[in-house]
């Protein structure tokens, strides 16, 4: 009869220079990376309120903090996810709903694997950006989400945990 935890995780990347992104690509990025998160949370949160609390975990990205060539729409959206997380946390705190985010760095997802197959140079260039010298795994990000969903985070709200192998350190 309720929902305790929502993990918002979706991605659309228009990988092209800023001047070449078409309006429909930008709209798809907004719809997938922001609007979907916002309105799914809006549908789920009333069930959490009925249960007197819950956790919303938004998957952002390190690109919500830094820019990158050919990813301007994606960076824009993931930056918005970070601030949406903070705004939701502020507004929902009185309902005992904790809203936090995880910002992954380079993760070896199916999408990343497909991109590397198409453009092999992506692997080396991305790994060079990570001081740990490797991609993260989906399982490692799932562990961060489990932590954010746990009672160990009872005083965390509006926070963004970065799990990036050190990507943002330089």
Give the residue numbers annotated as catalytic, written as ranges.
Answer: 74
Domain boundaries, the chain: 5-169
What are the C-alpha distances in Å from 27 to residues 3, 32, 62, 85, 124? 29, 9, 21, 21, 31
The answer to whether residues 78 and 36 touch, using CB atoms and an 8 Å cutoff, is no
How many of the other CB atoms lie within 10 Å of CB of 61? 28
User: Among 132, 156, 126, which residue's Cα sits nearest to residue 144?
Assistant: 156
pLDDT at residue 115, rounded to an integer? 87
Query: What is the structure's pLDDT at 65?
Result: 96
Q: CA 30 to CA 148: how far, in whole Å?
A: 25
All residue ranges of the chain with pLDDT < 70 are none
Task: Write down the CATH superfamily of domain 5-169.
Answer: NAD(P)-binding Rossmann-like Domain (3.40.50.720)
Give the pLDDT of residue 119: 87
Give the pTM.
0.94
User: Structure tokens of 127?
Assistant: 């790994």
């Amino acid at each position: 009869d309720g929902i305790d935890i929502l993990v918002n995780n979706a991605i659309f990347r228009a990988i092209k220079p800023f001047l070449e992104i078409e309006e429909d690509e930008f709209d798809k990025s907004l719809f997938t990376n922001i609007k979907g998160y916002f309105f799914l949370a809006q549908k789920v949160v009333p069930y959490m309120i009925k249960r007197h609390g819950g956790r919303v975990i938004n998957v952002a990205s390190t690109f919500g903090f830094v820019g990158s060539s050919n990813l301007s729409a994606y960076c824009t959206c993931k930056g918005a996810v970070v601030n949406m997380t903070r705004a939701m946390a502020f507004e929902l705190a009185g309902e005992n709903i904790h809203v936090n985010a995880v910002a992954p760095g380079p993760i070896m997802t199916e999408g990343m694997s497909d991109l590397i197959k198409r453009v092999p140079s992506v692997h080396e260039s991305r790994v060079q950006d990570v001081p740990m010298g490797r991609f993260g795994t989906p399982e490692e990000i799932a562990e961060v989400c489990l932590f954010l969903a746990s009672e160990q985070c009872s005083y965390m709200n509006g926070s963004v945990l970065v799990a990036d192998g050190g990507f943002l350190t330089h």
